[in-house]
Amino acid sequence: MALLPVSDALDRLLAISAPITGSDVIGLHEAMGRVLATDVAALVTHPAFDNSAMDGYAGRHEDFAQVGTELVVIGESAAGRGFSGHVGPGQVVRIFTGAPVPAGADTVLIQEDANTLPDGRIRTTFAPAQGRHIRPKGQDFAIGDIVLRTGEMLDSGRLTVAAAMNHPRLPVFKRPKVAILATGDELLPPGSVPGPGQIIASNTYGVAAIARDNGAEVIDLGIVRDDNALIAAAVAKAQAAGADVLVTLGGASVGDHDLVQPALVESGMVLDFWQIAMRPGKPLMVGTLDGMTVLGLPGNPVSSLVCALLFLEPLLRHLGSLPPRDRSGQAKTVTALPANDKRQDYVRARLTRGADGVLRAETFLRQDSSMMQVFAQSDCLIIRPPHASAVDAGAVCDVMILR
């Protein structure tokens, strides 16, 4: 079977997975990072009234036109407690930032441009333009204005304006549900005491972190032994929980003990493809099962994480209507890199920035896909395309930024 290029594999994965259309209505405090499911219109006008942008004196422009004019202070307007009277000729009202502009006033003279006199008057030292320092009613938005749009991801600014529009809750697309299933007779949960031939299962935690970081709700199906019936029961549990994506860890190849793929096929999965022209991560499996996307990741921890970043991350952002995450970059390689074979390589490396401001990538000597410590210390993956020629130290390479 010919190995599928990485870009083709991702295109096919996204093509079989439609964005989620269901929605929830949630409070503003819970809405950070969620995606709006409908347009949102203002329920109030903002500002609701003409108000002052500065501390100063509200009066008539014609009374401010001549520097040195003396005006009588007839009252005060503060935020939440406006002046109820009317400003007439030769009069001003002491006003504070955010306070309503009183009737009859059309300009604010800031307090630095006025000298206070002992008899309740001020003398102007500057002639402001008409309307200066007044925020007009509806300057920001009016009732019925569409301010937020479907598909926008909610952040601090959008949540602030939603609150100002008088929305305590917002409609957002449902989070993708990701069920994660680890398989293998040798696996034990963290905190266990491994016996002969046993290892601690670690992949679930990194993959779950990637899923949550991309807006997903995670369902941990635990560890299942290499048994067709047990695997099928775990798959049924994922379906019953309404999982949009089932991620399996290990057992997706074709060895005598790799039972995940046949168990899924027996459960009704339509296999789309498996085996990708990449290193690490060749034995990747993709299929569908009654509307649930199935993503079978390799068992080696580094392979699993690299594949999760390359395939699970864009899949979840596609399902959740989140904007794609751009991890692309470029760096000069610190060491020479050999010619590549037919598989696309993702080489673990540290990033530093030189005195010239250019990023430099220093590869780790050992690249074994079981070495989690190396991956944890890596800042990027140097991308070596299939059949890439050897390059000398200092060559500019494409990289995938990890952190």
Q: pLDDT tens, 374-393?
A: 999 999 999 999 999 999 99
* Banded pLDDT at 1 (limits 50, 70, 90): low
pLDDT digits (tens, 9 = 90+) for 330-353: 999 999 999 999 999 999 999 999
Task: Please tell me the distance from the alpha carbon of residue 258 to that of residue 251, in angstroms, as a whole number.
Answer: 4
Please tell me the pTM assigned to this model. 0.87
What are the DSSP calls for 171-209, one per residue? EEEPPPEEEEEEE-TTEE-TT----TT-EE--HHHHHHH
Residue 128: phi and psi, rounded to 5, are -75, 155
pLDDT digits (tens, 9 = 90+) for 171-223: 999 999 999 999 999 999 999 999 999 999 999 999 999 999 999 999 999 99
Q: Is the dihedral of CA 223, 225, 230, 236 positive or negative?
A: positive
pLDDT for 257 beyond 60: no
pLDDT for 354 beyond 90: no
Q: Is the dihedral of CA 84, 86, 91, 97 positive or negative?
A: positive
Across the chain, which distance is largest between two alpha carbons, in Å?
A: 99
Give the pLDDT mean for 14-24.
95
Distances (CA, A) of 193 to 38, 221, 241, 301, 387: 51, 21, 31, 20, 44
pLDDT mean across residues, the chain = 94
Domains of the chain, earliest start first: 6-21+175-319 (3.40.980.10), 23-46+140-173 (3.90.105.10), 51-135 (2.170.190.11), 328-401 (2.40.340.10)
Give the pLDDT mean for 28-53.
97
Burial readout 329-352 (b: 16 or more C-beta within 10 A, e: otherwise): eebbbeeebeebeebbbbbbbebe
